Amino acid sequence: MLTAIGYTYVMTWSMLWRDIAIGLLVAGALSAWVPNSIWQRLFLTGHPVLSVIWGAFAGPLIALASFTCSVGNIPLAGVLWHGGISFGGVASFIFGDLIILPILNIYRKYYGARMTAFMLVTFYAAMFAASLVVEGIFAVAGWIPARPKTGSAAHTASQSITFNYTSILDIAPAQIRAALVTNRIAQKIIRRIARARSGFGNAPAGPLQSGLRPCSWSSGSK
C-alpha cells in the first residue's frame, strides 16, 4: 500500500510542479512590482459594500487572465488578499480555475463552442453567487481573518520566523513526504536490480554453461 501511495504522490508532483512554480513566480512578481495602492484602488477598498460585490465579480476575471491552475493560484490569492480584495473575491478567484483559457479550450474540444460559452456563463454566475454566500457566512460568524496593514507592527511580526502550530503542520507532512519519496526511490532501485538480474539470467548459455566441452562440435564433425 505504501508503494502505491508513494507512486501516486511522486507522479502527481511530477505533473504539478510546473504549475506551482509558475504560480509562485507570478505571485512574487506581482507582490514586488505592483504597489498596494494600485491594488486598493482596483478593489475599491474605500467602499465596503461595493468592494464585496466587485471583488466577487473580479476574482474569476483575474483567474481567467492568470493562466494558473487550482494549485498554482493559491500564492496569487494570498497576494490579492494582501492587496485588498474581499474575502469572497479570494474565494471566487480560487473557484475561477475552472474557466481559465486552457480549460476552456478543453471544453471546446469536447463539447463544442456553444456549450463552452454556456458553461463559461453558468460557472461564472455560480462563482459570483457562491463567493457572496461565503463572504456573508464568514462575516456573520466572525471567521474572516484580519488583514494586517503593510508596515504595521502586526505585519512586521507576521514576516518574522516563529515556531508555532503552523510549524508543526509543516514539519509533520514533510516527514510523510520524505517517507513516500524515499520509498519510491527504493522501489525504483529494487526494480532496476531485479531487471538486471533477470536480464543476466536470460542471456544465452555459453559452451561451458550448456555442458559442452570446448570444440566438442568440431570433434563431432570429423
Give per-residue pLDDT as tens, 40-94.
Answer: 899 998 898 999 999 999 999 998 887 666 677 888 888 899 889 999 999 999 9
219 within a domain of the structure (yes/no)? no
| Closest among 45, 71, 69, 75 to 58, alpha carbons compared | 45
Are residues 136 and 48 part of one domain? yes
Q: What is the DSSP string of 71-103?
A: TTHHHHHHHHHHHT--HHHHHHHHHGGGGSHHH
Positions of the chain with pLDDT lower than 50, given as ranges: 151-154, 156, 201, 203, 205-222
- Do 185 and 102 share a domain, yes or no? no
Q: Are 37 and 212 in contact (CB under 8 A)?
A: no
- Domain identity same for 129 and 47: yes
Looking at residue 196, what is its pLDDT? 83
Same domain flag for 67 and 30: yes
Q: Are residues 177 and 107 in the same domain?
A: no
Q: Is residue 46, in this structure, part of any structural domain at all?
A: yes
Statement to judge: residues 191 and 134 lie in one domain: no
Q: Inter-axis angle of helices 73-83 and 2-33, to 10 degrees?
A: 40
Calpha distance 125→103 (Å, rounded): 17
Tell me, yes or no, whether 178 and 110 share the same domain.
no
- Considering the domain architecture, whether residues 42 and 114 belong to the same structural domain is answered as yes
Sign of CA dihedral 170, 172, 177, 178: positive
Residue with cell 461595493: 50
Give the structural domain span for 127: 17-141
Q: Does the residue 179 lie in any domain?
A: yes
pLDDT of residue 148: 63
Q: So what's the pLDDT on residue 159?
A: 59
**Taking the alpha carbons of 163, 167, 168, 169 in that order, is the dihedral positive or negative?**
positive
The long-range contacts involving 7-13, CB below 8 angstroms and separated by at least 24 positions, are 7/184, 7/187, 9/177, 9/180, 9/181, 9/184, 10/180, 10/181, 10/184
Picking from 107, 141, 175, the residue at the C-terminal end of a domain is 141
Q: Are residues 123 and 174 in the same domain?
A: no
pLDDT of residue 219: 44
Neighbours of 133 (CB within 10 A): 12
Q: How far apart are CA 45 and CA 36, in angstroms?
A: 11
Count of residues for the chain?
Answer: 222
Total domains present in the chain: 2
Residues 120, 184 within the same domain: no
Evaluate whether residue 188 is within a structural domain.
yes
Considering the domain architecture, whether residues 70 and 132 belong to the same structural domain is answered as: yes
